Amino acid sequence: MSSFAEARIFNLTKEKFASYLMVHAGTSRVEDDLFRGESGAVDFSSSMKNNLGGEFGFISTMGPLSFRFGFEILKPAPLREVKAKDAGGATLYEASSDVTGFIPKVGLDLNLVTKPSYRMFAFGTVGQAHLTVKNEYTNLTVAPNADFSTEMKSSSQFLAGGVGIEYAAFDLTSVVLEVGYKQLQFKNLKYSAAVTDTQGAHNAGDAVLLNTGENRTLDFSGWTVSLGARWWLF
C-alpha cells in the first residue's frame, strides 16, 4: 500500500525558503573612542576592540540568487570600571560602558556553486543601524566631581560583504560559515537625556562633542566571522 507522503530528501539545489540564526564575532575600531576627548584623560585601562552580536531572519532562493531579510543585534562585551588617567598617570575617573545596536537589513547572495549537500556563495547586505550607548562615570577627581551617566543614540547606514559556505547537516537543517567585512560608523551621536558631565550641561538632543569641539565618532567597522544555521521550510 502506497503512503500518502514520502520522506522529504534534503537537497540544497531544490530548497527555496528558510529561517536562519547567526552569531557574529569580529574586530572593531571603537577602542577608547567611547571615552576619549573628555576632560584631560589620555590613557584608558581597557577599550572596545571586538564586535559581538547575533542575527535572525529569512532567506529565499531563486536559482543562483538568494534574498535575505534579517535583524542583527550588535552587543559588544560591556566595559567595566575602566580607569581614565591623565598624562601624568593620575586617575581622573572610572568609566563603564554598555553598547547596543539594532540593525534591520536586507541582503543578496550570489550562489557560486550549489550541490545537493553544500553551497558556496558571495554575499552583500545593507541596512539602517540604530545605536544606544550608556556610559557611567564614578570616583571623579575632576568636574563635576560627582558620579553621573550619559545616554547617547545615533543612526547610520550599515554595509557588509564577504563569502560563505553552507553544508546540509541533518534533517532540513544546514550549517553556514561566513567571513566578511562590515562598515558601520556613527558620526552624529546625540544625548538621549539631559546630563551635566565633564564638559558642562547638555540637553537631550544636543550633539555629543569631544573637548576639541569635534563630533564624537564611534566606528564599529571591521572583519567578521559568522556561524549559523538555516532551517529550510520548503
Strand partners, 161: 124, 181
Evaluate if residue 39 carries a pLDDT over 90.
no
Evaluate if residue 77 carries a pLDDT over 60.
yes
Evaluate if residue 1 carries a pLDDT over 80.
no
- The answer to whether 53 and 225 are in contact (CB under 8 A) is no
Average pLDDT of every residue of the chain: 94
Evaluate if residue 4 carries a pLDDT over 60.
no
Evaluate if residue 5 carries a pLDDT over 70.
no
Cell numbers standing for residue 47: 577599550
Evaluate if residue 114 carries a pLDDT over 60.
yes
Contacts of 177 (CB under 8 A, 6+ apart): 164, 165, 225, 226, 227
The residue type found at 124 is G
Mean pLDDT of 204-221: 95
How far apart CA 53 and CA 104 sit, in angstroms, is 13
Mean pLDDT of 200-217: 94
7 band by pLDDT with thresholds 50, 70 and 90: low
Domains of the chain: 17-232 (2.40.160.20)
Mean pLDDT of 3-27: 86
pLDDT at 38: 85
Evaluate if residue 123 carries a pLDDT over 50.
yes
Helix-, strand-, coil-residue percentages of the chain, each rounded to 5 = 0, 65, 35
Evaluate if residue 101 carries a pLDDT over 80.
yes
Contacts of 115 (CB under 8 A, 6+ apart): 12, 13
- The answer to whether 128 and 140 are in contact (CB under 8 A) is no
Evaluate if residue 150 carries a pLDDT over 60.
yes
- 128 C-beta neighbours (distance < 10 Å), count: 12
9 band by pLDDT with thresholds 50, 70 and 90: confident
Q: What percent of the chain is modeled with pLDDT above 90?
A: 89
Q: What percent of the chain is modeled with pLDDT above 70?
A: 97
How far apart CA 228 and CA 21 sit, in angstroms, is 5
Mean pLDDT of 95-118: 97
Residue with the larger pLDDT of the pair 171 and 7: 171
Evaluate if residue 2 carries a pLDDT over 60.
no
pLDDT at 40: 84
Mean pLDDT of 150-172: 97
Mean pLDDT of 145-150: 94
